[in-house]
């Protein structure tokens, strides 16, 4: 019996002087000490086993944030075979070790709204911590053909797409066969029929059949770009919602109208989306509420939040800019009084390749090149009143962050080459490579409007949860937990910054030292690894 044990017995004897009490207490303490020693032995053995196991990669001394469990502490993370194998306060052994002291270790960002699916666009996303970028608002069609083609290409980060309602509508109403290419979609803005027509019963049947086929081919829900075809009937939109509910997949909607004055207001459009969620039983995701609300966010966002409180499946996203990127030939920029409906928009509020437009240039583009992507400044973020409207969506804890990242354009065409850095003069909306970095810089570090843990949740766990009911792969993303996919970002909060501007967008974000996809470095010490292509297809199970 050791000295400490003897001292404990003496104290007990003084309180329980009888022989029986002495015997009983001696026995209990002995058992307790034995159990304690056993626990210590087991813990020591466990720690020793962890330390001796060799992981593929170990991240040590980082501030690990897991938005699902609430973990926010210094930990060591072990990665093996593309998954998180250990999270420990104790030392871990790895074939490769990186020291993340003073840095944040978080789940990689998941972007639900990324039109740019080319390798250059995905690389720009990786440089700001995105590990999964999905084309869900517009979507693509035929989806099976797209996934087959993409499987032959290198992807630095995970990719995927929804079924495209607009593509199906174009094919059904114009007879032009859909091609799984965003450039093809842009070219179709020269035809106005699909944007304004009410579908016949036969056309609606074809639209639904095309979408159903895409869902069976693994599409991640249905993209409903209603803002580009506002003339479609409410019955058609409702039928699409019913189809989505049948297969339990989300819809991702760019709502029908973007206007403050009624009729045809943003309020009316958001109310339609919420109604479809309630009446069709569908999961309706509202894309970029910051832009489609115009200056009426105080009216539109409560519709969504109240629907959520009432148990309807309505989710919502926003990006951190007061400027949109859209096609000059969009129907919302046509017809009498369109500038008034758009909140008093001036021609000089539009921009192309860093230059503001005038009426003549705008009209020329609309007549001769309607698929041209332009920037539209609808809010002035330097104005406190306008900034408050942007804060209302970006900083709301029920709103996921998404980028609406655009394809990069070189010499007037969407760039699909693999040069890195991107060619000089490559152009895109700065949200395409700055959205997630800007949230961390402007909303977290500089202004403190969001806490770091809340920002991490809005950019990782929330997007994963929006998809995980219908896309099983997403149940292992957006988390730092044992068994989850090793899609991880390591960044210095004091250095993170978006460098992309409206006049000089071709500048990657900084401060993201390591970006890991499926356990493999895509960004290493702040530099892109051009030979890295660990990205995988995110896809629902194929049923046909």
pLDDT digits (tens, 9 = 90+) for 387-426: 999 999 999 999 999 999 999 999 989 999 999 999 999 9
Average pLDDT, the chain: 92
CB 156 within 8 A of CB 122: yes
Pairwise CA distance, residues 469 & 152, whole Å = 28
Residue count of the chain: 544
Q: What's the pLDDT tens digit per position in 129-140? A: 999 999 999 999
Q: What's the pLDDT tens digit per position in 61-72? A: 999 999 999 999
The answer, yes or no, to whether residue 14 has pLDDT greater than 50, is: no
The answer, yes or no, to whether residue 23 has pLDDT greater than 90, is: no
* Side-chain-side CA neighbours of residue 221 (13 Å): 29
High-pLDDT (> 90) share of the chain, %: 83
What tokens does 240 get?
């699409």
Question: Which pLDDT band, with edges at 50, 70 and 90, does 40 fall under?
Answer: very low
pLDDT: which is higher, 439 or 35: 439
CB 77 within 8 A of CB 59: yes
Q: What's the pLDDT tens digit per position in 485-507? A: 999 999 999 999 999 999 999 99
Which of 47-56, 215-224, 286-295, 482-491 has the lowest average pLDDT?
Answer: 47-56
Average pLDDT over residues 206-220: 99
17 Cα distance to chain centroid: 69
Pairing between β-strand 350-352 and β-strand 314-318 as defined by DSSP bridges: unpaired
The answer, yes or no, to whether residue 22 has pLDDT greater than 50, is: no
Fold for domain 109-322+379-528?
TIM Barrel (3.20.20)
Specify the DSSP class assigned to residue 541.
P
What residue ranges do the domains of the chain occupy?
3-45, 109-322+379-528, 325-378
The answer, yes or no, to whether residue 300 has pLDDT greater than 60, is: yes
Question: Which pLDDT band, with edges at 50, 70 and 90, does 48 fall under?
Answer: low
Quick check: bond before 478 cis, omega within 30? no
pLDDT at 53: 82
Average pLDDT over residues 109-135: 99
Average pLDDT over residues 73-85: 99
pLDDT at 190: 87
High-pLDDT (> 70) share of the chain, %: 90
Burial code of 48-62, b = ≥16 C-beta within 10 A, e = fewer? eebeeeebbbbbbeb
pLDDT at 199: 97
Q: Assign residue 294 a region: left if phi > 0, alpha if psi is -120 to 50, beta otherwise?
A: left
60 Cα distance to chain centroid: 27
pLDDT at 508: 99
Which residues are CB-contacts of 10 (< 8 A; sequence separation ≥ 6)? none
Q: What's the pLDDT tens digit per position in 366-393? A: 999 998 989 999 999 899 999 999 999 9
User: CA angle 162-400-98, nearest 5°?
Assistant: 95
CB 291 within 8 A of CB 377: no
The answer, yes or no, to whether residue 36 has pLDDT greater than 80, is: no
The answer, yes or no, to whether residue 86 has pLDDT greater than 80, is: yes
The answer, yes or no, to whether residue 466 has pLDDT greater than 50, is: yes
- DSSP states of 170-227: HHHHH-PPP-S-HHHHHHGGG--HHHHPPPPHHHHHHHHHHHHHHHHTT--SEEE-GG
Which residues are CB-contacts of 4 (< 8 A; sequence separation ≥ 6)? none
pLDDT at 318: 99
- DSSP states of 212-273: HHHHHTT--SEEE-GGG-TTS-HHHHHHHHHHHHHHT--EEE--S---SSSSS-HHHHHHHH
Which of 80-94, 350-364, 483-497 has the lowest average pLDDT?
Answer: 350-364
Span between the terminal Cα atoms of the chain, in Å:
72
pLDDT at 3: 47
- Which of these, 295, 318, 315, 319, lies nearest to 389 by C-alpha position? 295
What tokens does 195 get?
């944007």
Question: Which pLDDT band, with edges at 50, 70 and 90, does 337 fall under?
Answer: confident
pLDDT at 544: 77
Pairwise CA distance, residues 245 & 168, whole Å = 18
Average pLDDT over residues 208-224: 99
- Which of these, 8, 3, 68, lies nearest to 32 by C-alpha position? 8
User: Nearest 10 degrees: CA dihedral of 438, 442, 446, 450?
Assistant: -100
435 Cα distance to chain centroid: 10
* Side-chain-side CA neighbours of residue 172 (13 Å): 25
pLDDT at 332: 86
pTM of structure: 0.90
The answer, yes or no, to whether residue 5 has pLDDT greater than 70, is: no
pLDDT at 330: 87
Pairwise CA distance, residues 339 & 391, whole Å = 25
Question: Which pLDDT band, with edges at 50, 70 and 90, does 79 fall under?
Answer: very high
């Amino acid at each position: 019996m050791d000295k400490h044990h003897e001292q404990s017995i003496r104290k007990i004897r003084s309180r329980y002087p009888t022989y029986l009490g002495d015997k009983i207490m001696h026995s209990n303490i002995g058992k307790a000490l034995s159990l304690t020693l056993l626990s210590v032995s087991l813990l020591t053995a466990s720690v020793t086993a962890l330390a001796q196991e060799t992981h593929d990669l170990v991240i040590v001394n980082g501030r690990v944030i897991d938005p699902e469990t609430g973990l926010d502490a210094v930990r060591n993370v072990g990665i093996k075979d593309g998954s998180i194998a250990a999270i420990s306060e104790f030392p871990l052994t790895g074939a490769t070790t990186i020291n993340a002291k003073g840095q944040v270790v978080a789940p990689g960002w998941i972007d639900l709204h990324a039109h740019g699916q080319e390798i250059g666009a995905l690389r720009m996303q990786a440089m700001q911590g995105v590990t999964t970028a999905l084309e869900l608002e517009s979507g693509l069609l035929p989806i099976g053909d797209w996934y087959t083609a993409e499987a032959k290409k290198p992807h630095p980060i995970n990719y995927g797409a929804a079924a495209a309602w607009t593509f199906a509508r174009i094919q059904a109403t114009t007879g032009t066969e859909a091609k799984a290419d965003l450039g093809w979609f842009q070219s179709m803005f020269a035809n106005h029929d699909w944007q304004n027509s009410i579908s016949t019963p036969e056309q609606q049947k074809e639209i639904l059949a095309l979408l159903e086929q895409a869902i069976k081919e693994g599409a991640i829900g249905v993209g409903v770009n209603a803002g580009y075809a506002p003339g479609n009937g409410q019955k058609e939109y409702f039928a699409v919602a019913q189809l989505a509910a049948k297969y339990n997949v989300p819809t991702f909607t760019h709502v029908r109208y973007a206007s403050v004055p009624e009729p045809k207001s943003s309020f009316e459009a958001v109310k339609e989306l919420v109604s479809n969620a309630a009446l069709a039983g569908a999961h309706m995701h509202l894309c970029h509420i910051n832009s489609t609300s115009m200056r009426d966010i105080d009216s539109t966002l409560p519709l969504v939040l109240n629907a959520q409180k009432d148990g309807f499946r309505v989710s919502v996203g926003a990006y951190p800019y007061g400027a949109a990127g859209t096609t000059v030939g969009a129907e919302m920029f046509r017809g009498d009084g369109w500038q008034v409906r758009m909140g008093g928009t001036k021609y000089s509020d539009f921009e192309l390749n860093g230059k503001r437009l005038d009426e003549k240039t705008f009209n020329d583009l609309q007549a001769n090149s309607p698929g041209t992507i332009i920037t539209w400044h609808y809010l002035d973020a330097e104005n406190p009143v306008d900034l408050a409207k942007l804060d209302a969506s970006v900083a709301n804890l029920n709103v996921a962050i998404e980028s609406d990242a655009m394809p990069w354009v070189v010499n007037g065409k969407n760039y699909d080459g693999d040069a890195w850095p991107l060619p000089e003069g490559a152009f895109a909306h700065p949200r395409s490579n700055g959205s997630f970095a800007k949230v961390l810089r402007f909303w977290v570090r500089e202004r403190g409007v969001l806490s770091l843990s809340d920002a991490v949740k809005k950019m990782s766990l929330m997007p994963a949860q929006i998809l995980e009911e219908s896309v099983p792969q997403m149940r292992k993303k957006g988390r730092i937990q044992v068994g989850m996919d090793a899609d991880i970002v390591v960044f210095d909060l004091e250095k993170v910054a978006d460098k992309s501007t409206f006049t000089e967008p071709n500048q990657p974000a900084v401060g993201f030292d390591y970006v890991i996809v499926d356990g493999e470095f895509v960004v290493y010490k702040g530099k892109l690894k051009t030979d890295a292509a660990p990205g995988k297809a995110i896809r629902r199970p194929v049923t046909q």
